[in-house]
């Protein structure tokens, strides 16, 4: 565990926030925010989802941000679909988002819960 992840866990614990998944603070300076990627473009260029930050509130999930990594190692920001649905409908909405972009949700890492970071 890195010092950054230890600090973020301590802060979450101090405020009584429930969490699951990797809560380490990503190096946002390494993310290319200048390039605008959609899920479809990410997959077309051979990339995969590597982080999906989700907020849990009142039995619902909301996507905060989404990062993908291209084959060359470049981390890019993915414009997430605006999803705020009951938890039981979340994966279905992710699948619908992927379909609307012409990609497979499971194949691009969108359904891989090890890529999820859930706060709430």
pTM for this prediction: 0.77
Q: In terms of Cα–Cα distance, which of 49, 106, 95 is closest to 76? A: 49
**How many domains does the chain fold into?**
1
CB atoms within 10 A of CB 54: 21
Residues of the chain with pLDDT under 50: 1-6
Q: What local confidence, expressed as pLDDT, does residue 13 receive?
A: 59
CA–CA gap between residue 52 and residue 81 (Å, rounded):
12
Domain range spanning residue 107?
Answer: 3-119
Chain segment 25-58, per-residue pLDDT in tens: 556 677 888 888 999 999 999 999 999 999 998 8
Q: What local confidence, expressed as pLDDT, does residue 15 receive?
A: 52
């Amino acid at each position: 565990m890195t010092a950054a992840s230890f600090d973020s866990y301590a802060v979450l614990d101090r405020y009584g926030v429930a969490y699951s998944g990797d809560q380490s603070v990503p190096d946002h300076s390494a993310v290319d925010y200048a390039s605008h990627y959609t899920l479809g473009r990410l997959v077309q260029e051979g990339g995969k989802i590597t982080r999906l930050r989700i907020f849990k509130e009142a039995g619902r999930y909301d996507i905060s941000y989404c990062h993908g990594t291209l084959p060359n190692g470049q981390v890019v920001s993915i414009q997430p679909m605006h999803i705020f649905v009951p938890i039981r409908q979340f994966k279905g909405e992710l699948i619908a988002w992927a379909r609307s972009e012409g990609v497979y949700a499971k194949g691009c890492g969108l359904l891989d819960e090890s890529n999820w970071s859930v706060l709430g």
